[in-house]
Structure formats: structure tokens, C-alpha cells
Chains A and B, each alone.
Chain A
Amino acid sequence: ETGVTQTPRHLVMGMTNKKSLKCEQHLGHNAMYWYKQSAKKPLELMFVYNFKEQTENNSVPSRFSPECPNSSHLFLHLHTLQPEDSALYLCASSQENARTSGNYEQYFGPGTRLTVT
């Protein structure tokens, strides 16, 4: 285990549902990330939070809404999703002050496999 947990591990939801994905890191890191991984495509960065502040929104549709209440927890709120949003959603964390050492190592959680029907 990498110290990053995600729940649920699997989620099936209809297009009219509202659900939330949860991520928690136990590594003392202060940066957290949401990625989307679809088949045959590279990992896509969705959101970045540094010290609870959002620093990156990679042109993600508003039906995805992130929330970062503290440096250890990250949520992704989902509503009115489309079937093409079905993918593996990965959370990652890193230590922001690693900039001085040049190591921006990101640790990934196990992911949530999302299916939109």
C-alpha cells in the first residue's frame, strides 16, 4: 500500500445520479491530484491542490466538482455524468516543498473504477 486510499473502489451510477469519490493520504503530503485514466489514453490530470488551494483545473467539465477540506482529504463530486466519463479515477499526492530537491514524486491511490450507465 502506498499510503493513499480511495473509496469506493467501484462505482456504477446513472446519468442523473449524484455521487462522490473520496481520497485520503496518510503520508503528510500537502499536494493532491485527481487523474482520469481511460482505455488507450494517457493519464489525464484533472485537478491539483496545493495546501488545500486549487492550483490547476485542466479544462474539466463542471459536472466534476473537486473539494479539498484539508491537506489529507480530497473529494470529487459527480453529477449528471455522461457514459464517456466511465474510467478509472486516480488520486495522487506529493510533497510540495520537494521542488527544492527536484523530486516531484507522486504516490497514487488504488483508484475508483467508475461506470456511468
Chain B
Amino acid sequence: QKEVEQNSGPLSVPEGAIASLNCTYSDRGSQSFFWYRQYSGKSPELIMFIYSNGDKEDGRFTAQLNKASQYVSLLIRDSQPSDSATYLCAVNTAYNTDKLIFGTGTRLQVFP
């Protein structure tokens, strides 16, 4: 079983819609969860982090964490073509808080 799993996509949504990106993780002791956005040819850019169960909102982005079910999701409201990128989920390990385990990423395509 992969430590951090994401659907590779592509996930295609029309402009203005809500994009929902999901991630599951295997280490039940993980404490911190991150969403990075990576444009083609660029390096990852942190857009959200969450470490408490529930929702965390930042502008058009909402991160949702459910530790009991071991999943974390990212919602993007009012999706724009500029949101088209690969979204990486990262989870810290329970035994080494500096170590992040990344998923393979979900490619999002927002079409006009």
C-alpha cells in the first residue's frame, strides 16, 4: 500500500465550478498535512496546510481533514484556468516530523 495516495487524474472541471481533490494516507500517527500546487516545469508551491480535524478555509481554497478515515481533501471554489496544475498532497510521518511523504499528485484541468 502506498503511503500517500492520490488519483493521478486528469480531473477536468469547467471554469467557475468546484474542484475536489482527494488524498488518503496510511500512517495513522501523521499530524500535519499539506497541499502543494506545481505548475508544469516549476517547483511545488505550498497553498494550504492543516493539522486539526475539520475544515480550514483560505480564500477560494478549503482543506478538509478526517483523521479517523485517514483522508485529506482540497476544494477549490470558482475554479479558474490559472488553477490548472498538478496538486501534491504531503503528509508528515509520525516518527520524524521533518519528513514529508508526497503523493504522486492529481492533475487538474480547468477549461473555459
- Closest partner residue, chain B, to A99 (CB atom): B97
Cα A5 to Cα B37 with chains together (Å): 18
A55 touches B98 (CB 8 A): yes
Other-chain contact of B45, A33, A94, A99, A108 (Cβ < 8 Å): A108
The count of residues in chain A whose C-beta lies closer than 8 Å to any C-beta of chain B is 26
Cα A90 to Cα B92 with chains together (Å): 18
Interface residues of A in 27-44 (CB under 8 A from B): 31, 33, 40-43
The count of residues in chain B whose C-beta lies closer than 8 Å to any C-beta of chain A is 25
B32 touches A103 (CB 8 A): yes
- Tell whether A42 pairs with B32 under 8 Å between CB atoms, given A31-B98, A102-B51, A109-B43: no
Q: Residues of A with Cβ closer than 8 Å to B?
A: 2, 31, 33, 40-43, 45, 48, 50, 55-56, 90, 94, 96, 99, 102-111
